[in-house]
Chain A
């Protein structure tokens, strides 16, 4: 069975600084997708970034980038130039690729990020 582990229950960063959130996963599949979702106190889950396992290049979305280490099964999220609006719970999630169980997103337990002004 696939599992997703986020070992940092809470993290804190100073505004304008850089922070990295860790995520590891376990799977025997070769085709899969990884995601980072953000859930601010407003509750809505917002997609931050997505990585296809077959792509070697790390995904980037503006200030957000990932370090995808497939062999190590590691998928960390780096937030550069942190802003107050980045404060939220961040969930790492895994999904099997095409042909796998439909829609089964497997979430980690989350990392609560605080941003200090």
Chain B
């Protein structure tokens, strides 16, 4: 079973809203990732959590705030986003940071 789930599938928000994206896996993976993907582009790494601790932050603006409540869950809190933040947000997980990553279906975000 290599299932990573993400909710919601679609999200429309205004620039003053606060929203959260959720990612969940029950494979016992100890590394989880957030990626941002613009149309017709490859995914860009945003954050890496390793054993529930933030290990990589790829200079992401503070309006994106990740959270890892436990080893199965990864959240991305959104606040005061800009229209250019509209994209597909992908979550992935792996057995360990060095292992193969498995992706969720993504959340399509539109910022108005």
> Known interface pairs A102-B50, A103-B48, A108-B42. Does A44 touch B103 (Cβ–Cβ under 8 Å)?
yes
Contact B102 A47 (CB under 8 A): yes
Asked whether B55 is an interface residue with its Cβ less than 8 Å from the other chain, the reply is yes
22 A-B residue pairings within 8 Å (CB atoms): A33-B100, A35-B100, A42-B105, A43-B88, A43-B105, A43-B108, A45-B43, A46-B103, A47-B2, A47-B101, A91-B42, A97-B98, A102-B31, A102-B48, A102-B98, A103-B48, A103-B101, A105-B43, A105-B101, A107-B42, A109-B41, A109-B42
Q: Quote the shortest CB–CB distance from B22 to chain A (angstroms).
A: 16
Considering the chains assembled together, what is the distance between the CA atoms of A104 and B43 in angstroms? 11
Question: Given A45-B43, A98-B98, list of 9 further CB < 8 A pairs?
Answer: A37-B103, A43-B106, A95-B98, A103-B55, A103-B94, A104-B45, A105-B43, A107-B43, A110-B40
Q: Quote the shortest CB–CB distance from A115 to chain B (angstroms).
A: 19
Interface centre among A33, A105, A108, A110 (most CB of B within 10 A): A105
Q: Quote the shortest CB–CB distance from B37 to chain A (angstroms).
A: 8
A-B contacts at CB below 8 angstroms, number: 60
Total B residues in contact with A, Cβ cutoff 8 Å? 26
Asked whether A30 is an interface residue with its Cβ less than 8 Å from the other chain, the reply is no
Closest to B43 in A: A107
